[in-house]
Structure 1
Amino acid sequence: MGKARDVVKVTLRHNPSLDKTPELIFDLLKQHFGELTYSSMPMADFYNTRPLQYEGVMEYWIRLNNAIDIADECL
C-alpha cells in the first residue's frame, strides 16, 4: 500500500528479469524501509489511523484495533 507498493512496482518495472517471488519483494521492502517491526511512535501511529478511501466500516474497525494492539504492545 502507498509508498511500499510504489517502490515494489517501480523496481519490478525497471528490472523485468527479476523473479517476482515473495522473498524478493520482502527483501526490497526491508532494503527501503528497514527491518523495524514496530514504529518508534506507536501512539502517533494510532492517532493517525484514518479510514482509507473506499474502505468499509468493518475493515477500518479491524485496522484500528490492530493499531491499538500494536500501541499496547510497544508501551
Structure 2
Amino acid sequence: MKKATIQLETLTCPSCVLKVENAVKSVDGVEKDSVNVMFNASKVKFDFDEEKLSVENVVKAITSVGYEVKKSQVKDR
C-alpha cells in the first residue's frame, strides 16, 4: 500500500468535498476508508494499492468531475 496526498484547486463549498471524495472512492484500488478530503487545505489524502492503479488514475477521476489538481505526492505507508 502507498499513501497519496493530492493538492487541489481551492475548494469553495461542502458539496465540492463530497464530489471529490466520491470520485476518489470510485477508483478501484483506493482504500475507501482512508479517503480524507480536507476542505480548508484543499487536499485529499488516501491509501491505495500500487499494483492496481497509479495516482494518475485518481487524478483523472478528480479532473473528470471538474476540479483542477495542482500537484500529487506518493509515499510508502
TM-score under structure 2 length normalisation = 0.29
Larger radius of gyration: 1
TM-score under structure 1 length normalisation = 0.30
